[in-house]
Amino acid sequence: MSVPTVPAAAGIDPGFNTSTPHHPDLVVRATAPADVVAAVRLARETGRTVAVRATGHGAGPTGPGTILVDTAGLADVSIDPVARTATVGAGATWQQVLDAAAPFGLGGLAGSAPGVGVVGYTLGGGLGPVARTFGLAADHVLALDVVTADGGFRRVDAVGDPELFWAIRGGGAAFGLVTGLTMGLVGIREVYGGGLWFSADVARTVLRAWRDWTATLPASTSSSLARLNLPSAPELPEPLRGRPVVHVRVAHVGDPAQGQRLVAPLRAAATPLLDGLGVLPYAALGAIHADPTTPMPVHERGVLLAALPPAAVEAFADVTSVATGLPIAAAELRLLGGAVGGPPAVPSAAPGRDAAFTLHALGVLAPPIADAVPAAVDAVLARLEPWSTGGAMPNFAGPPDAVAGARIRRAFGPDALARLDALRAALDPRGLFAPAARWTAARS
């Protein structure tokens, strides 16, 4: 079987996070599942390890002795409107799924940035803007096509391979390379949502109001709050350019009039610089968080919070205050609970369901602040450490190093972790997929 390899010297697209180094021996640009099978077999034969990347949003670094499998060419998307399912390749993005499903009044559980790859996001659990209503994206997976470390190709589902089906939905690429999956879709055409943008001058007032407001929300409403230091970019609305702001994000599933009534306390908390709340087509879900779409060098970390009492709100306001001078681009609190906190119909390894909030911070690794960014990001998390569970969801933990690995393992908990470790040892005893196994970083 031939392998469509490209020498690393030919140049490698750095992916979305341009600070992530890639120095593999070879790159395999897969255009069919057989290419992934061939790459894994070549790695076995030559004593190399395997890493995988689609859009590069969550890709870890790759070094010598590694074959990097680029799955961007596996981007097919097929919608079955009768079964209400989507079958997607490993290179497909969420925006492709949203656009393909929209004509049928259906939608998938995309993340806040729909340019992210479907598979990597979902294998990490998949916490999106409407998660409190519908749960994690991993909860809606029906079957996966997986290339295992022995070079085999499996169709994995809850009946034929229940243990691997449980582990890979949350445990990610530690168990095999997914070339495609089939997921259930939800009936949804629109949401009442978007964002309210406030000056950082009223950050403490808005934070207090948001914290109290989240305690009253039904599961039909999801929300997050972010302190952002925005650049003077022409694509930003003029009132926001170059300003420190507070961005309250809202997604309400159901009657728009009810959504409007629910957000009234937020609108009353302070006068917004910009009010972007309204009825959105579900396919325009990315407008809620308005995440950047341009690749850039970033450093990020996240933790789960057991609670957000008033003291934690004050701590967040203090550490993200403009007065600190910390060179962070964003610090976000995201409300969990609702369907995220309930048991899925088919159990999965996806961790963090018992937490109340996630905390995530990031900075841009650009001169002259690049060297100061990692410590600044850590300072945000450290300030809220008293309310942390010590764990992190895989997609929010940060770069695949020992710190992120330890937090992900903590989130799994001892029982699930023992089960995951046992299955990994059975399926991949040599550690062929070590570069892709983010939660195993604590052991390396």
Model pLDDT for residues 273-325, shown as the tens digit of each residue:
999 999 999 999 999 999 988 888 999 999 999 999 999 999 999 999 999 99
Specify the amino acid at residue 135.
Answer: G
pLDDT for 5: 58
Q: Are strands 190-199 and 186-187 parallel, antiparallel or unpaired?
A: unpaired
pLDDT band per the 50, 70, 90 thresholds, residue 19 = confident
> Which range among 196-210, 226-240, 292-306 has the greatest average pLDDT?
196-210
CA angle 365, 366, 368 (to 5 degrees): 120
Q: What is the largest CA-CA distance in the chain?
A: 65
Contact indicator for 427, 156 with CB cutoff of 8 Å: no
pLDDT for 386: 98
Structure pTM? 0.94
Residue 83's SS3 state is coil
pLDDT band per the 50, 70, 90 thresholds, residue 436 = low
Helix (H) or strand (E) holding 319, with range, is helix 310-319
Query: What mean pLDDT is predicted for residues 196-210?
Result: 98
Closest CA to 55 of 10, 144, 119: 119
List, in order of start, the domains of the chain with CATH numbers.
Answer: 5-70 (3.30.43), 77-187 (3.30.465.10), 190-407 (3.40.462.20)
Residue 201's SS3 state is helix
At 352-385, the pLDDT tens digits run 999 999 999 999 999 999 999 999 999 999 999 9
pLDDT for 118: 97
